[in-house]
Each structure stands twice: as C-alpha cells, then as structure tokens.
Amino acid sequence: MHEQLLRIQAEQREAADARTAEYIATENVSLACREGCDYCCYLRVEAYRLEASAIVDYIRRTFTEKQTADLRARLEKHVDIVDDMTVEQHRTRNIPCPLLADSRCSVYPMRPLACRSYTSLHVRSCKYSFKNPRDMKESRPKNAGLERLWDEEREIQRLGFGATGQHPYELGSILLSEVNREFP
C-alpha cells in the first residue's frame, strides 16, 4: 500500500510540474526563481509524512553514507532549534532548511509541494523578506494564474492526504522522524 501511495504521489508531482511548465511557457511567465537562489529556503515549510517518506526514498537511492550522515546532523540541529518554537516564531525567523546544501536543495526533484509551489516574480522582494523576516506585510509578487494552478494542486493534496488521515508537519521534524526510522 505504501509503495502504491508513493507511486500515486510521484504521478501527481510529475503532472503538476508538467502543468506548471506548460502554463509558464504558454503565458510567457518570467519567474525570478533560479538555481542557487535560496532566499525562500529559510521559510517554515510544512509537508505530509508521505512527502517525507518519498524524500527518504530519494535519499536512500542517491545519497552517499556521508551525505546521509551530514543531513541527519543538519536535521537534528534544525529540530533542536524549532522544536520549542510556535508556528509564528518560526515564520518570523530565518532558519535554513536542513535540506539546503551549498545554497541548493539536496532533494530538489523530490521537494515537497509547499516548496514547488512557492514562486516569485522579483528577487528584490525575496531579498527584502529575507533581510526583514518579521515584516509580514511584504509579500512576494506572484502570477495570479500560476497561483490558481498551485492552489488547485494544494487542494488535491489536502483532500488526498486528508482522506488517508494525514496532516502536515513541520518539514525538518517529520523528515528527521522518517530518516531515523529508515536509517537507524
């Protein structure tokens, strides 16, 4: 059953990425998001257990033992920092994602929907938000059509995972739990 759910999730992820790429090309949308730009990788991210499980499967297939050990250390440090924080405290601080390595997502092909769907039209706004994490008034400029597409994907995810009794967790916390279960 778990393998079947991972396969369904992979199909949904691929379909969402394809719809996004088609929309961007058709509507000639120019995103500011680029490889190596990591301003958004300091935001609080929520993910479902199955998303974390897919990430762990990717880690098992692609990471070396050293990369896995380094990730576990980053996860433990991350959880030590955020464990006693409220959601609001976490949202107003720049805490690096434990998956971030050398300003790049170490699991980019498997990143959670929350990360996939977070895009910006101007890096200037991302820089400002990074430098001023407590200023919640500043918002990244978005493409309305692309946001509608991702809103639909998030709703599909919420309904699908909700039907299986899942709810979202803070990414680093659920990922550490899954890593510890898979790599004792």
Q: What is the domain range of residue 118? A: 2-182
Position 148 pLDDT exceeds 90: yes
- Is this model's pTM higher than 0.75 or not? yes
Domains: count for the chain: 1
Confidence label for 140 from pLDDT (cuts 50, 70 and 90)? confident
CA distance 31 to 172: 27
Confidence label for 137 from pLDDT (cuts 50, 70 and 90)? confident
With CA atoms as reference, report the closest residue to 6 among 64, 62, 58.
Answer: 58
pLDDT value at residue 136:
82
- pLDDT cut 70: percent of the chain above it: 99
Q: How far is CA 82 from the centre of its chain?
A: 16
Q: What is the mean pLDDT of residues 106-112?
A: 96
Q: How many CB atoms lie within 10 A of CB 178?
A: 22
Report yes or no: 16 and 116 within 8 Å, Cβ to Cβ.
yes
Alpha helices in the chain (DSSP H): 2-27, 49-62, 65-82, 87-91, 113-116, 123-131, 144-163, 171-182
Residues composing the chain: 184
Confidence label for 1 from pLDDT (cuts 50, 70 and 90)? low
Position 41 pLDDT exceeds 90: yes
Q: What is the mean pLDDT of residues 122-127?
A: 94
